[in-house]
């Protein structure tokens, strides 16, 4: 088990996680948002990873995860894809996706509305699981820094969105 910190571009806070896999463009981790808490998966865009290194307390974190009997493995049916391919895959499985771009504090939840080779737009999902009809923003594909899924908050948004979608809210 390899526990690493990742410095993303101009972000102040490090991303920490259990390293699972990587390809030329992305790093897949099981996210450790704080101390001994495991919460979902994150894909880190290598174009924005400025530094990666083992955490100082990785042996302690590893021991706690073992004592908690937490099984760390790749998500079922996961395959590395390009950014749009990953967003489409998440939307297919969970009904929506989550990503971050330049601003560390901004998380975007949504479903694809339209896209081309360089950009995409989405229907933004609010924290109550309802589409924000006033949201109108175009994102550059190359500026997506992280894609997250299966965290507690992501699952909550996904459940609310899918519930509201069935009720036609």
- What domains appear along the chain, each with residue ranges and CATH number? 1-74 (2.30.30), 81-169 (2.30.30)
SS3 at position 39: coil
What is the Cα–Cα distance from 3 to 60, expressed in whole angstroms? 10
What residues are paired with 114 via a beta bridge? Answer: 121
Q: Are 75 and 150 in contact (CB under 8 A)?
A: yes
Q: How do the pLDDT tens digits run along the chain, 169 residues long? A: 899 999 999 899 999 999 999 999 999 999 999 888 899 999 999 999 999 999 888 899 989 999 999 889 999 889 999 999 999 999 999 999 999 999 989 999 999 999 999 999 999 999 999 999 888 899 999 999 999 999 999 999 999 999 998 887 6
> What pTM did the predictor assign?
0.93
55's CB contacts (< 8 A; 6+ apart) are: 3, 4, 5, 16, 61
126's CB contacts (< 8 A; 6+ apart) are: 132
Reading phi first (left if > 0) and then psi (alpha if -120 to 50, else beta), residue 9 is in left
Q: Are 8 and 46 in contact (CB under 8 A)?
A: no
């Amino acid at each position: 088990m390899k526990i690493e910190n990742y410095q993303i571009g101009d972000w102040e806070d490090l991303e920490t996680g259990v390293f699972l896999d990587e390809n030329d463009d992305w790093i897949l981790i099981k996210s450790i948002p704080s101390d001994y808490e495991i919460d979902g998966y994150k894909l880190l865009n290598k174009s924005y990873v400025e530094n990666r290194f083992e955490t100082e307390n990785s042996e302690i974190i590893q021991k706690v995860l073992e004592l908690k009997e937490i099984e760390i493995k790749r998500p079922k049916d996961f395959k590395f894809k390009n950014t749009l391919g990953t967003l489409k895959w998440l939307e297919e499985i969970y009904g929506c996706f989550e990503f971050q771009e330049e601003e560390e504090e901004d998380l975007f939840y949504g479903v694809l509305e339209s896209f081309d080779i360089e950009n995409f737009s989405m229907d933004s999902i609010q924290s109550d699981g309802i589409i924000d009809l006033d949201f109108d923003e175009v994102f550059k594909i190359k500026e997506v820094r992280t894609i997250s899924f299966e965290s507690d908050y992501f699952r909550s948004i996904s459940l609310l969105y899918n519930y509201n979608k069935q009720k036609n809210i």
